[in-house]
């Protein structure tokens, strides 16, 4: 009898565990977990820090999707903005040793997000940042270790949108490798197009937000333009 009860308990645990795991995966990225990951980032260095940043950005993206499903677009936007910051860190830190892993990770994330239906427009900018991260990794694969070429990266501020972006510049040419040079230029061109597209989206959203503000809505009517006897005007004898 006791043995039968134990067997039933074990079966119950086996059946319930996948459900609990699925619920945990569907939960949003909590502030406490984010704090723990921030501490990990502080004490992690080099290539490991780049890969950790990718893991954290994945948690933010998953949380954004959950928030979107729950109708919480405001928190979803915050998740995506933090995820973008992690991607920009990856763009500045990805090395020749991690470039291939970064590119694979980005491709998998874009594929995963691509199959999600009815994602709101707030994901549009984030998709572009993911693409740029993958292109940065590919550019490093094309350039690093090649004699005659150097690659520099720096954080700059876009004058139009006021947002930070990562500028990647390749200098020099590799002799006798026309195909590689062509691909390098194609990547640089596409990255510049992405920067322009992101800035354009952000500027347009700022314009829409400003148009939604009604400056006269908080102005108290003094009644100075009203005639005698009308509300807001005191008749003098």
Task: Parse the chain into domains and list their residue ranges.
Answer: 25-208
In this prediction the pTM is 0.75
Q: Are 88 and 164 in contact (CB under 8 A)?
A: yes
- 120/127 Cα distance (integer angstroms): 12
- Which residue has tokens 């006269």? 216
Mean pLDDT of all residues belonging to the chain:
79
pLDDT recorded at residue 171 = 84
pLDDT recorded at residue 175 = 60
Average pLDDT over residues 188-209: 88
Average pLDDT over residues 116-145: 87
DSSP bridge pairs for 169 = 152
| Interval 37-73: pLDDT, tens | 999 999 999 999 999 999 999 999 999 999 988 988 8
């Amino acid at each position: 009898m006791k043995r039968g009860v134990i067997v039933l308990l074990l079966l119950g645990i086996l059946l319930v565990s996948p459900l609990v795991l699925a619920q945990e995966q569907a939960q949003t990225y909590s502030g406490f977990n984010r704090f723990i990951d921030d501490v990990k980032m502080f004490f992690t260095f080099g290539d490991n820090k780049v890969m950790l940043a990718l893991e954290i950005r994945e948690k933010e993206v998953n949380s954004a999707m959950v928030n979107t499903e729950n109708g919480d677009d405001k928190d979803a936007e915050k998740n995506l903005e933090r995820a973008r910051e992690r991607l920009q860190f990856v763009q500045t830190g990805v090395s020749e040793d991690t470039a291939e892993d970064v590119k694979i990770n980005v491709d998998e994330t874009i594929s995963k997000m691509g199959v999600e239906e009815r994602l709101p427009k707030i994901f549009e900018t984030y998709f572009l940042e993911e693409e740029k991260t993958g292109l940065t990794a590919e550019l490093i694969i094309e350039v690093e270790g090649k004699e005659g070429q150097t690659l520099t990266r720096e954080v700059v501020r876009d004058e139009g949108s006021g947002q930070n972006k990562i500028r990647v510049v390749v200098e020099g040419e590799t002799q006798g490798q026309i195909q590689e040079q062509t691909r390098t230029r194609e990547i640089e061109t596409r990255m510049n197009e992405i920067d322009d597209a992101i800035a354009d989206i952000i500027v347009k959203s700022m314009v829409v937000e400003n148009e939604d503000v009604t400056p006269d809505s908080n102005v108290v009517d003094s009644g100075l333009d009203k005639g005698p006897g009308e509300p807001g005007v005191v008749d003098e004898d």
